Chains A and B, each alone.
Chain A
């Protein structure tokens, strides 16, 4: 029999019994006993634990002064040393949902205390906080309170005692967007045959990987005047100074770097080397200008065809890199190029 767990519960001014919208500015209040829905949680918990403190925060206080509110909440929670933090349920209340999400996220990331909240799947806070805590789905209004409280309590208890939490569909929380590896009962070949049979006979089936449709990238407008433009060279060919000073990996890399090329008319094979596991780089090794055409661009610059070649070469290794990582790198590189007033980039792969 595990020892009784300690819970800190966060609610807003309304569920905390302080008042309605007119009290939304309420700064953090602390009560050392269950309040509002906390009474139901305590009842469901029985001997297994107790709510050692209830934090009450105004919806506006939290969302408009988030840094202050978050710090205050963290400081209070740390004092009470809970095994788990519960926030809400917030149902479809947007500001309350944000506050619940923020409290849970702060507590889990900063204090390493597990947390759980509950709200409607349509609450805008869901997409912002689902990865940072556990969110159980509720109905739209407080009418679903009797339904959610026992589940919220049970889930919190499991978190507090360190129980391993399984996949979202099985455990009833909203998917957090983490793909975990598990063992199914049936082989994948068997599941493929069964899914095809279902599809052919019109029976229901569920894809194991929901397809995310990537947003197409709209191209930028064409340059009006090349002769005044600063052109940057950006490459995923993995061409780096010889010796690979930044230690790029040949695959699955998540960083990019800049190397000065202002002083160069061309890339010399004894000064540059390709680090890349996805193409036969012999030809790049013999003449690096094949994958990064610095020589030609320098000529065009000297002839006045382009205004200027940007002083730095921007490099990453483009193979086996997840899409989000590529997007993040792309955005960071764009920031760098904007700062340097670069007008256009020539982007070479391999």
Chain B
């Protein structure tokens, strides 16, 4: 499976009469896109705004951020299952708009009020201490969607997601017929057989009994699946992306999925330091301990059957899903597969408390990406996109506060892409 990804770097976005790519300037007919989005009856009204890195701008009610990608040759489509047929992707040529994202902002009515299925607030600051994740540094075209009343959570999720994917697709279409300034080939070529073989196990929680259990594979919701062997190029073509119910810190954006830095690093090292075997998409957050154990064992078995000597394991979520992370590391090491685990830490407000809530003695090679728990104050901003108010703790007080003001957050959960699950950045923890 050979995939050439052509990148068109975007350095400015301008609203204009026609949607087209003009060198590294993306010109967008806002009106055309708004008309397209508003065709969906679930969406009462759409607005489109632009947010630039470094501005004193805050985007609220963030649901997702999507990178415009389009397949120009080869089977299938990018974001398969959602944007087209379920033909296996990861081959041919894909074009992407580099350095930008379509950001979805929508405040869901509180149909599901509590728990992981509820739409929690997610805030994206384009500058300052809250500009933590990679999508704070992209040119963001923000779709601000007002949802029509009378539909279900599942309807809204689908409407919001499709609005984003359709806009992303329309923008990516501007690259058709053009030669990309940058090109990179992704192929797991046969390499020196003495190189150690490495698998990437990417864990994702999904919660059952929800209209949107969180994640789709070729457009199909991942429910309580066993681990799945996939080609990294399928992920690059958008086969695995989250829904659009709420983009808080433990829900990486679609943009991050297709730009996964572990996949990038393993491809870089392929043929030199190691042989990159492939990816295991590992669903987690089973609700019975034996099921967690089974899932971990099966992931390790799959890695072993595929010939892995080593593995990098990443996970997303909080608490519940972390247990599978540790159990999988244990199962891999017991199969003789040398494992590195990447995780954020807890540690409480000041860093005294235990960094991890569950451990196994085999987890001796851990990469830390910082802490979820430390309080953070987001300063007042000049401009807010997406609304005037937000609610940080709907399950408790339900208090709404002005979105433009200073926001004292007790932890980083409400920050969109606030946790670096896959190692894009350089934040880490060290002992004092």
A: residues with CB less than 8 A from B are 131, 165-169, 175-193, 195-197, 199-201, 205, 207-209, 211-214, 244, 247-252, 274-282, 319-320, 322-325
Contacts and interface: CB of A to CB of B under 8 A. Distances in A.
Given A179-B345, A196-B365, A211-B356, A252 B426 contact: no
B290 interface: no
B367 interface: yes
Given A189-B422, A209-B366, A322 B429 contact: no
Nearest to A175: B431
Q: Which has the most chain B C-beta neighbours within 10 Å: A196, A199, A207? A: A196
9 contacts: A165-B432, A177-B431, A186-B426, A189-B265, A195-B340, A209-B356, A209-B368, A211-B363, A249-B410
Contact of A322 (B266, B357, B366): B357
The 8 A-B pairs with the shortest beta carbon distances in the complex, nearest first, are A188-B423, A189-B423, A250-B395, A189-B261, A280-B115, A322-B353, A179-B351, A208-B368
Contacts of A193: 262, 265-266, 268-269, 273, 312
B191 to A, nearest CB: 14
Contact of B431 (A167, A183, A247, A249): A167
B212 interface: no
B352 A277 contact: no
A28 B172 CA distance: 78
Interface residues of B, number: 80
Contacts of B117: 280
A53 B25 CA distance: 69
Contacts of B394: 250
Contact of A209 (B269, B353, B355): B355
A192 B340 contact: yes
Contact of A181 (B115, B196, B370): B370
A240 B360 CA distance: 35
Nearest to A171: B432
Interface string B392-432: 01111100000000000011010000001011111111111
Contacts of B338: 196, 199-200
A181 B373 contact: no
A181 B352 contact: no
A195 B340 CA distance: 7
A325 B262 contact: no
B430 A167 contact: yes
B396 A244 contact: yes
Contacts of A279: 114-116
A325 B312 CA distance: 31
Contact of A188 (B354, B355, B411, B426): B426
Contact of B364 (A190, A211, A249, A277): A211
Contact of B264 (A189, A195, A205): A189
Contact of B352 (A178, A182, A187, A213): A178
Contacts of B343: 209
Nearest to A207: B366
A152 B218 CA distance: 62
B9 interface: no
A276 B351 contact: no
Nearest to B376: A181
A320 B310 contact: no
Interface string B266-279: 10110001100000
Given A207-B366, A252-B411, A275-B395, A179 B426 contact: no
B318 A169 contact: no
Contacts of A251: 411, 413
A322 B269 contact: no
Contacts of A320: 318-319, 411, 413
A189 B116 contact: no
